[in-house]
Amino acid sequence: MMGNEWIVLGMIAGFLGLMIIGIPVAIALAVSGFVAGYIGFGPMLFNLMPARLFGVVSNYTLLAIPLFTFMGVMLEKSRVAEDMLDTIGTAMGGLKGGMGLAIVLVGVLMGASTGIVGATVVTVGLLTLPTLMKRGYAPSVACGTICASGTLGQIIPPSLVLILLSDIMGESVGTLFAAALIPGLVLAGIYCAYLILLGMFMPKLVPAVPLEERQKINRAELRKKLLRDVGPPVLLVLAVLGSIVAGIAAPTEAASMGALGALLIAVGFGRMNMQLLKDTMHGTLTISAMVYFILLCAQPFALAFRGLGGEDMVHGLFDMIPGGEVGALLFLMGLLFILGFFLEWIEISYIALPMFLPVFIGYGTDMVWLAILIAMNLQMSFLTPPFGWALFFLKGVTPPGITTRDIYVGVLPFVMLQALAVAVIFVFPSVATWLPKAIGW
């Protein structure tokens, strides 16, 4: 047994070493897992792997990933998201911090309709950052608001994070979607409260749109634009999420209807053409292939870890942590936060979580509550330097004059606000568990 433990430790060290020298994470996972598995199991490893890989590619729930991705990419490529952002920004520009509030609101709507952080951050950054700079917003506040709002799609359903967590934790996708809805809105509300307070106490950082510019806006025309530009995406989101939460459709079925709905919206806006369809299919294929490739490459690592007694090592580690279940939860939240500085959420999900979940199953922890805590924590990995993807996405589209320091400084308050949201859910579990129980999930 001691020999197996050394193999497990060597596998983890090998994985980290391969990552440090620049090997892609998926390849590092597969290589370290195969080497350790072959040392531990011998040729039998190759008899065990096919069933694991087939289980991933034949998982009906995971079929929702490319369908929801198609829905989001179609809405982004057809510029529906751009119209929505422009209209909401115009409607709220008269408030101090109003443009920031509009970005958060659009982050909620785009998160619920696209769920793709890169698309949201790039779209919002391209459209709003030059305008925010022109209107006197502090560069750090503008960058932080855009990055944080773009990550809301990782907690507000439908979310790829929640779909994968449902598979890992053995909970239904509908249950996690229902559980994440209120926490996602609470987080958006915390962002809005922060921007409102900035507008009250530090108005020079988040000025309102000048009065002369607001007086040029035709209110009747603005109401029509709100109905035309915001109405269809909102109805699509309500239809997709409502059908899942109400139990009318399975997540995969609702995702297919969401993909069809996004197509119809693009047709209704008069923007459907072969180039749009090709771009959407290419974007969907790229994102889906990346997710599935990492899932497949994680299987030999997970198989070797479990088969060589890694779970027993983790149990022993948690037994040394004082405080029982609460202490174990705090340790897990801290560990996931630290891992988020260096790894993507999908690697954390399929490397770290399977190691730790048996401990919490043994404690009898509510898996729905734990899943939402984990999802909220993983969301922070998009904002934490040095490898926060939202920071990279925004840096790629920033106008001259915006520095990397502006982006890093700007996201720090929002990382703290996200930590506050995690603390709220930790202290008040009903924030996450009330809605699933209320609708009988």
Residue 2 has pLDDT above 60, yes or no: no
Q: Give the C-alpha separation, 38 to 351, whole Å.
A: 19
- Cα angle 155, 95, 405 (rounded to 5 degrees) comes to 60
Give the SS3 label for residue 97: coil
**What is the count of structural domains for the chain?**
1
Counting residues of the chain whose pLDDT is more than 70, the rounded percentage is: 90
Amino acid (one-letter) located at 46? F
Is the pLDDT at 168 greater than 50, yes or no?
A: yes
Angle value at C-alpha 219, between 215 and 222, nearest 5 degrees: 115
pLDDT at residue 188 tops 70:
yes
| C-alpha to C-alpha distance for 112 and 129, rounded to whole angstroms | 22
pLDDT value of residue 428: 93
Higher pLDDT, 428 or 45: 428
pLDDT, the chain, mean: 81
Q: What is the pLDDT of residue 424?
A: 94
273-318 confidence digits (pLDDT tens): 899 899 889 888 887 887 788 778 878 887 887 777 776 776 677 7
The residue that leads in pLDDT, 87 or 39, is 39
What whole-number percentage of the chain has pLDDT above 90?
11
193-212 pLDDT, tens per residue?
A: 999 998 888 888 888 766 66
Q: What is the pLDDT of residues 375-406, one digit of tens each?
A: 998 888 778 876 677 777 787 777 777 888 88
Domain carrying residue 28: 2-438
Q: How far apart are CA 151 and CA 14, in angstroms?
A: 31
Q: How confident is the model at residue 1 (pLDDT cuts 50, 70, 90)?
A: very low
Q: In this structure, are residues 159 and 244 in contact, taking their beta carbons and an 8 Å threshold?
A: no
Interior/surface letters 321-355, b for 16+ CB within 10 angstroms, e for the rest: eeeeeeebbebbbeebbebbebbbbbbbbbbbbbb
The mean per-residue pLDDT over the stretch 256-268 comes to 87
